[in-house]
Amino acid sequence: MQIDRRTLLIGAGTMAVAATSAVAAPRERKPAVLVKNVRLFDGVSPKLVDSHLLAEGPLITRVSTSPIDPPSGCIVIDGRGQTLMPGLTDAHWHLALAANRPADLDAADDGLMFADMVAEAQRQLLRGFTTVRDCAGPTFGIKRAIDEGRIAGPRIYPSGAILSQTSGHGDHAAAYALSPTFAGTPSRFQQLGLELVVDGVPAVLAGARQQLRRGASQIKIAAGGGIVSDFDPIDSAQFTMEELSAAVEAAQAWGTYVMAHAYSSNSIRRCIEAGVACIEHGHLMDEATMALLGQKGVWLSTQAFSAGDQPVSPEMHAKGAPVNGAYEHLLRWAQKHGVRVAFGTDLVFQPDSPVENRMLTKFATVYSNAETLRIATSGNAALFAMSGARNPYRAAPLGVLKPGAWADFLLVKGNPLEAIDILANYEDNLLLICKNGEIHKNIVTA
C-alpha cells in the first residue's frame, strides 16, 4: 500500500488527514489505546512475547500476557500476531540540515527553513522515529511546538548550535572572511543558529552557557575535522585542551554532558582526556583508541555510512571516502572492547529520504537483529538519559514497552527480529505508529 508521506494517518482502521488539525489549541484528552494479540519486543529482551498493551494518556499503563479489558471509549486495535515494538530513535540527527537543501538555507527568509523542518519532523515520525537527539541546529521552537501538540514530530533532545573554533568543522564562513573573533560577520549557518564560532576559554564557556540557557539538553562541540566543511582536514584536532575542558565544565555544571564530533584517534583521545562523554562518528580511530573508549566508559554514537548515502560535492565525497564502510570494523571493535554504541544517521540535504531506516538495518551486519533493535530503542534512550536534570522527558522511561513508560510504539508487519530489513519499507510495514499515547498512523485492517 502506498501512503502519502505528506499526511498523518490516524484512526482505528480508517485514514484521515491530521496535519491541518494540529493547531495551538487546548488539547483534549486522547482516548486510551489498547493493542491486543501482538508479539511484543519490549526494547530489551531478545524474545517476543504474546502480549496485550494498554496506553492511557501519554503513558503505558498495562502490559499483560492475558487479555486486558478496554476502558470506556478506548480505541482497540487487533494486532493479529504482528510485532509491537518501541518507537525507533536516532541519536545523531540534524533536523534543519536534513530537511533543507543548501539553497533553502541561503534563502533571504528564514521561514522557508523552519517550514521545511516542520514538514520533515512529520515525515520522520511516519518513518517510525519517535525520539531524536538533534546534534546542531535551531530546534528549540520546533521541539516546543511538538511537545505542546501544535505540530507532529518526534521528541527532540536539542543541542542548539555546535561550538567550533575558527577554521573548524562548525565554521562555514568563506576562506577570506574575518572570524567573528576579529569582529567579522557571522556566516549564514551561524546566523541561522546551526553553529557558533568560539575561540578561547571565555568564548567557549559563554557559547555553551548560551545553548544551555536556550534549552539544550546536551552540548555539542566540533573537536576534529569533518566532511561537509570546506577547510579543515578530516584528520585535524580542534580546540585546545583548555577549551575542550571548558565546554565539559560548563555542561557538567548544569548536570549534563558534552558530545564531540571527531573522526581521528588523536582528536578522540583529546576528547576523552577532557571528559567528553560521547564521541560522534569515530570512523577513523584505531583499535587501541576504541579500547580506551571502553576503559573510560565513553559512548560511541556512530553511523553506518556507505558511498552515496550523502549528497555531497565531489570534493567532499573524496574527503569522506575513508569513512564509507568503516562502520563494520568499528562496530566489531566496539563489541570486542565493551563500548556502548548508539545508532544515528547524520543525514544532510535530503528531505524525505528513506536512507534513515536503511542505515539502521546495516547495524545488523555486525550485531544480531535483536541487538540492533535494542541499540535503536532502549540503548539510545540510556544515552539520552545522561542529560540528567536537563532531560526534557525524564518523567518516564523511553525506548521500552512497560508500565509507566512513555507510550511510543510501532506495530510492525512481520518479525523484525528475524528479518530486520522489513523496517526499511516503513510505508507498508509500519502498520501503527503511536507516540505519547496518540495514534499518528493506522493502516491496520478492520
3-state secondary structure the chain: CCCCCCCCECCCCCCCECHHHCCCCCCCCCCCEEEEEEEECCCCCCCCEEEEEEEECCEEEEEECCCCCCCCCCEEEECCCCEEEECEEEEEECHHHHHCCHHHHCCCCCHHHHHHHHHHHHHHHHCCEEEEEECCCCCHHHHHHHHCCCCCCCEEEECCCEEECCCCCCCCCCCCCCCHHHCCCCCHHHHHCCEEECCCHHHHHHHHHHHHHHCCCCEEEECECCCCCCCCCCCCECCCHHHHHHHHHHHHHCCCCEEEEEEEHHHHHHHHHHCCCEEEEEEECCHHHHHHHHHHCCEEEECCCCCCCCCCCHHHHHHHHHHCCCHHHHHHHHHHCCCCEEECCCCCCCCCCCHHHHHHHHHHHCCCHHHHHHHHHHHHHHHHHHHHHHCCCCCCCCCCCCCCCECCEEEECCCCCCCHHHHCCHHHHEEEEEECCEEEEECCCC
CA distance 219 to 79: 41
Query: Going edge to edge, which strands form the sheet with 258-264?
Result: 195-197, 162-164, 219-222, 258-264, 278-284, 299-302, 341-343
- Could you tell me which residue, 185 or 340, shows the higher pLDDT? 340
Q: Which residues pair with 52 in a beta bridge?
A: 64
As a whole-number percent, the residues of the chain with pLDDT over 70 amount to: 93
Position 321 confidence tier, pLDDT thresholds 50, 70, 90: confident
pLDDT band at residue 50 using 50, 70 and 90 as cut-offs? very high
77-117 pLDDT tens trace: 999 999 999 999 999 999 999 999 888 888 888 999 999 99
**Does residue 11 register a pLDDT over 90?**
no
Task: Determine the pLDDT at residue 231.
Answer: 85
Is the pLDDT at 1 greater than 80, yes or no? Answer: no
Percent of the chain's residues with pLDDT above 90: 79
Cell 565539559: give the residue: 248
Query: How confident is residue 29, by pLDDT bands cut at 50, 70 and 90?
Result: confident
Cα dihedral value 167, 223, 99, 388, nearest 10: -140
pLDDT band at 4 (very low <50, low <70, confident <90, very high): very low
For residue 27, what pLDDT is reported? 56
pLDDT in tens, 213-266: 999 999 999 999 988 888 899 999 999 999 999 999 999 999 999 999 999 999
Q: State whether the Cα torsion 344-381-215-220 is positive or negative.
A: negative
Which domains occur in the chain, in start order?
Answer: 19-87+397-442 (2.30.40.10), 89-366 (3.20.20.140)
Q: Which cell goes with 345? A: 544517521
In the predicted model, what is the mean pLDDT of the chain? 91
* Predicted pLDDT of residue 313: 67
pLDDT of 6 above 80: no
pLDDT band per the 50, 70, 90 thresholds, residue 12: very low
What confidence tens digit (pLDDT) does each residue in 117-140 have?
999 999 999 999 999 999 999 999
How far is residue 179 from each of residues 164, 187, 235, 419, measured CA to CA in Å?
A: 11, 9, 22, 51
Average pLDDT in the 256-277 region? 98
Distance in angstroms (rounded) separating the CA atoms of residues 21 and 32: 20
CA 149, CA 375: separation in Å to the nearest integer?
Answer: 28
The model's pTM is: 0.92
Q: Identify the residue with better confidence: 46 or 26.
A: 46
Average pLDDT over residues 317-333: 87
User: CA-based Rg of the chain, rounded to a whole angstrom?
Assistant: 21
Spell out a b/e string for 250-287, using b for 16 or more CB atoms within 10 Å of the CB, else e.
bbeebebbbbbbbbbbbbbbbbbebbbbbbbbbbbbee
